[in-house]
Amino acid sequence: MKVLGIDIGGSAFKGAPVDTKTGRLLAERHRVEIESPCALATGVAAVREIVRHFDWQGPVGIGFPAIIRDGKIGAVGNLGQVWEQQNGVTLFRRATKGPVKIINDADAAGLAEMKFGVGRGRQDTVLLLTFGTGIGSALFHHGQLFPNAELGHIPWRGKPMERYASAAVRKRAHLEWREWAVRVNVYLGVVERLLSPELIIIGGGVSKKSEKWFSYLKANAKIMPAHLHNDAGIVGAALAGE
């Protein structure tokens, strides 16, 4: 099945048509830059631009950085509170003019990695973490998703932990890879103590640069970069849109 997958983040909306049987992108992904917080009209326009870019007519799956229940948007992080309590399906149908399904963005990336990536066939506890504007998380046990696990919002020194250890923080604070890895290790220590995963998959754009910082990571679990790298969110959104 062919589905347009759209991955929404705090700095950009990215999308591409996906073959959901193989997980392969059928065209080069299209990226629309935005700023956070993002106005509703701006977000809808970004989705519309992606749909127009591919001249898409068909199902659309969207990964959104918030708690998602039955298409309704709950607590939102970096994208802005204006999105909270909106019906995401209704909102984005205005842009797509077709069927839409919406899922938490990290859950989408996790679904892709569990079906096509390094989590394939795993029946133990698997935790996927995406490092970008914030920290997204997806938790699986026996291949089943525990939805909306917002582990980037674990409190740390009075603030969500993603404000201490996200990839965006590394850039803003001009941290060397080793310095940032020290912060990531603090975060990994917390989530390991809470969940005891056997495998931690790290996604987001930084997964493409694993050779620069993975050697500094310390955890009891096995740590692996996402096989689909930064495309996992697009592929997983498409899977959710089937």
φ, ψ of residue 52 to 5 degrees: the values are -65, -40
CB half-sphere exposure, 51, CA atoms < 13 A: 21
pLDDT of amino acid 77? 82
47 neighbors 58 (Cβ within 8 angstroms): no
**208 in helix, strand or coil?**
helix
97 neighbors 47 (Cβ within 8 angstroms): no
CA dist 122 and 142 (Å) reads: 7
pLDDT of amino acid 12? 95
- Tokens linked to 184: 């990531």
Cα distances (angstroms) measured from residue 12 to each of 77, 148, 161, 225: 14, 21, 22, 22
Strands 199-203 and 222-225: parallel
CA dist 31 and 41 (Å) reads: 17
pTM (predicted TM-score): 0.94
Query: What parts of the chain have a pLDDT lower than 50?
Result: none
Which single residue is written with the structure tokens 């973490």?
Answer: 129
Tell me the pLDDT tens digit for each residue of 61-71: 999 999 999 99
